[in-house]
Amino acid sequence: MPPLSRNATTALAIPVAALLLAAGVMGCGTSKRERPTSAATAPTTTTAPTTTTAMTTTTTTTTTTTLPGVGRPQVTVGDKNFTEQFLLGHLYQQALAAEGFTVALNPNIGATEVTIQALQSGSLDMYPEYLDTWNTTVAGIRRSLSTLAAAHQAGQRYAVAHGLRLLDPTPFSDTDAIAVTQAYASEHALGTLGDLRTVAGTLTLGAPPEFRQSPAGLPAIERAYGFVPAAFKPVELGAQYQALDQGLVQAAYATTTDGQLATGGYTLLADPLGVFGSGNIVPVVPAKVLLAEGPAFAATIDRVGALLSTTVMRELNAAVDLYHQDPAAVAKQFLQSHGIVPATAS
């Protein structure tokens, strides 16, 4: 299920009123997928797309090989308004540019509904979406899908019917989760959400207020795992790890790619029943764009996505959120380390 329930939509033609609501309200939900980032982590330029291109790569001192993206139409890549999406936007832009594609990056494009409208209008050519958000909010799929393959196939059927394609899902899945301190997990032998039953009588759970009532939040855990905490403490996003450290709560709402989890001080409890769904990224691209750009376009995007494990994504998020590095610089360093962007690239 999508984080803290999102309104489902059954068609791509979203009413104007819904788009206005999305721009003004829907981006303020609990999940980090729709929340605004701080000024410290926002891209330097948000008023106009930035464009990157590479023309050729020299293979010998006398031979120049044309890159596969040279001469193809310019593409615009968009992302949503928080750290993880900013990183994804830069990763895709820089990797495509290294293959000769001319790429404009339009950061902070807005909530899902607004982004889909941009795809329809042709002002956007690709953006990274979370699979459960696509299936629930865009495709209107309400049935439970037990595997990533099944979820991707269901979403793909809807995409194809509307002239779009979902590229390969990333290894990482960014979903809602429950975290405890490493010390608390060791003391009580906690590894899964079901293990919380053993400490439920003394445990205070900290989470944003809406998590307590949302069908996709605490009630979902209670139904699936039989866990009912002794107390619930409202804790806003961004304060949950401090609350854990100070002992104000023993367990707290988190998301699986939070940068704080890369520090090693916390344990994320496994969700073996899949209560929180499939938060893998699937790049969404119109079929006509894939045709115009050629096979190297999708291959480049999928090559980048295949590198993004949960551990990698936590570390990239931590570099921006905890150590205040620029998302573009973090993306460049990562791509260079994997030989996707040349070390000499500007």
Structural domain spans, the chain: 75-173+278-338, 176-269
What homologous superfamily does CATH list for 75-173+278-338?
Periplasmic binding protein-like II (3.40.190.10)
Quickly list H helices, the chain: 16-24, 83-98, 112-121, 131-133, 148-161, 182-188, 218-225, 240-245, 287-293, 295-305, 310-321, 327-337
- Closest Cα partner for 101 from 136, 83, 137, 74? 74
Whole-angstrom CA distances from 2 to 95, 240, 241, 258 are: 29, 20, 22, 17
Taking CA 58 as the corner, what is the angle to CA 70 and CA 329, rounded to the nearest 5 degrees?
Answer: 75
CATH 3.40.190.120 fits 176-269, yes or no: yes
- Closest Cα partner for 78 from 123, 13, 27? 123
Say whether 176-269 and 75-173+278-338 share the same fold. yes
Q: Which two tokens stand for residue 6?
A: 């999102």
Crossing angle for the helix pair 310-321 and 327-337, to the nearest 10 degrees: 140
Q: Which two tokens stand for residue 104?
A: 């404009």
pLDDT by position in tens, the chain (length 346): 444 433 333 333 333 223 223 333 233 334 555 544 443 444 443 445 666 655 443 333 334 579 999 999 999 999 988 999 999 999 999 999 999 999 999 988 878 888 888 898 899 999 999 999 999 989 999 887 878 999 999 999 999 999 999 999 999 999 999 999 999 999 999 999 999 999 999 999 999 999 999 888 999 999 999 999 999 999 998 899 999 999 999 999 999 999 999 999 999 999 999 888 889 999 999 999 999 999 999 999 999 999 999 999 999 999 999 999 999 999 999 999 999 999 874 4
What is residue 338's three-state secondary structure? coil
